Amino acid sequence: MPLVTTEEMFRQAYEGGYAIGAFNVNNMEIIQGIVNAAKQLRAPLILQVSAGARRYANQTYLIKLVEAALIDSDLPIALHLDHGDSFELCKECIDGGFTSVMIDGSHLSFEENIELTRRVVDYAHSHDPKVVVEAELGRLEGVEDEIRVSAEDASYTDPDEVEEFVTRTKCDSLAIAIGTSHGAYKFKPGQTPKLRFDILEEVARRLPGFPIVLHGASSVIPEYVQMINTYGGSMPDAIGIPEDMLRKAATMAVCKINIDSDLRLAMTGTVRKHLAEHPAEFDPRKYLGPARLAIEELVSNKIINVLGCSGKA
Ligand code: G3H
Ligand code: 13P
Ligand code: ZN
């Protein structure tokens, strides 16, 4: 099966009350762990590549690994650019074979965000084959691509703006800010995690049937934070988005849930444990193999407990 766009995936997810997992990929073991889980559970997949991942791995290598995943799994897979920050970057990915791109103009003024998003949409939609575009309104706290957005600079999405934004940009999906944030430290110690479901509901009312995206949606699984700290790490208290909140969002208008930090924690915790228990080990396969398995287990749990997309491929 060739790469697909997210159009049909999102239509079915919206109607079916589930979401598709969008997992960040940086190397072969991460891709294999994710794809092995999705293959077992027949789950549709979005594999997403950030600008940092392109710099780290070289886009050509990642595209070829994703092509291998298609051959290996026969699943519907979309290849997505995560947090594109310029027209030129989006164009490069569209021309390079991505089926979906995100243009993140969330740091710009409303008018500038519309102008930049519209330019990317025009290019993506007239490309043969058509490429779909995710845009963002509202600003998430946290670190992404080495840029830190402080709590003061973060802002919830204003539902009054979404209809005009979607109509004028013609974007295919919209990332909104309802209290999720990037990275492993989403809430302060002692703070009770909270998402603004009222904003999500109001956005869905204004944009019936339109797919909404949640960034910063890792749950920061305590087991892996603990594993990192048990085997030589010293992460401060890390708190993520509770799984039941994500599950609720997936039954609403949210069709795409972005997960990266949980993959990093699972991989790092497992590698640390293996090396601590086998101090003489120097064969990378011996610690990357268990890390790949940890990712597979993590993604299986996400598909079943959070996304609800098992058997939907
Ligand atoms: O939201 C950003 C993702 O976690 C990607 O992170 O830019 O460090 O690859 P990265
Ligand atoms: P997390 O940092 O919560 O995994 O979010 C990832 C993300 O939003 C990628 O775009
Ligand atoms: Zn993000």
pTM of the model: 0.96
pLDDT-derived band at 224, boundaries 50, 70, 90: very high
Is the C-beta atom of 177 inside 6 A of ligand 2? Answer: no
Place of tokens 């109001």: 202
Residue 214 is predicted with a pLDDT of: 98
Q: What is the pLDDT of residue 151?
A: 67
Q: Is 128 a catalytic site residue?
A: no
Atom of ligand 2 at shortest distance to CA of 142? 2
104 lines ligand 2 (CB under 6 A): no
- Residue 183 Cα: closest atom of ligand 1: 4
Return the residue whose CA atom lies nearest to atom 4 of ligand 1.
260
Banded model confidence at residue 142, pLDDT cuts 50, 70, 90 = confident
Please check the confidence at residue 93 and state whether its pLDDT lies above 80: yes
Residue nearest to atom 1 of ligand 1 (CA): 144
Listed by start position, the domains of the chain span 7-307
Q: What is the pLDDT of residue 126?
A: 98
| Selected catalytic residue, list 82, 85, 104, 172 | 82
Helix boundaries (H) for 145-220 = 159-169, 197-206
Residue 128 has pLDDT above 70, yes or no: yes
Angle CA 31–33–37, to nearest 5 = 115
Contact between 165 and 136 under an 8 Å Cβ cutoff? The reply is: no
Please say whether the beta carbons of 43 and 259 come within 8 A: no
Assign 148 a pLDDT band (cuts: 50, 70, 90): low
For 7-307, the fitting CATH number among 3.20.20.70, 3.40.50.970, 1.10.760.10, 3.30.565.10 is 3.20.20.70
Query: 53 in ligand 1 pocket by Cβ < 6 Å?
Result: yes
Provide mean pLDDT across the span 4-26: 98
Which DSSP category does 252 fall into?
Answer: T
Ligand 1 pocket mutation, candidates 25, 27, 54, 83, criterion most atoms within 8 A of CB: 83
What pLDDT score does 1 carry? 85
Pocket perturbation via mutation, ligand 1, pick of 260, 267, 268 by most ligand atoms within 8 A of CB: 260
- Could you tell me the CA-to-CA distances from 67 to 1, 112, 228, 249 in Å, in that order? 10, 35, 32, 31
High-pLDDT (> 90) share of the chain, %: 93
Q: pLDDT tens, 250-260?
A: 999 999 999 99
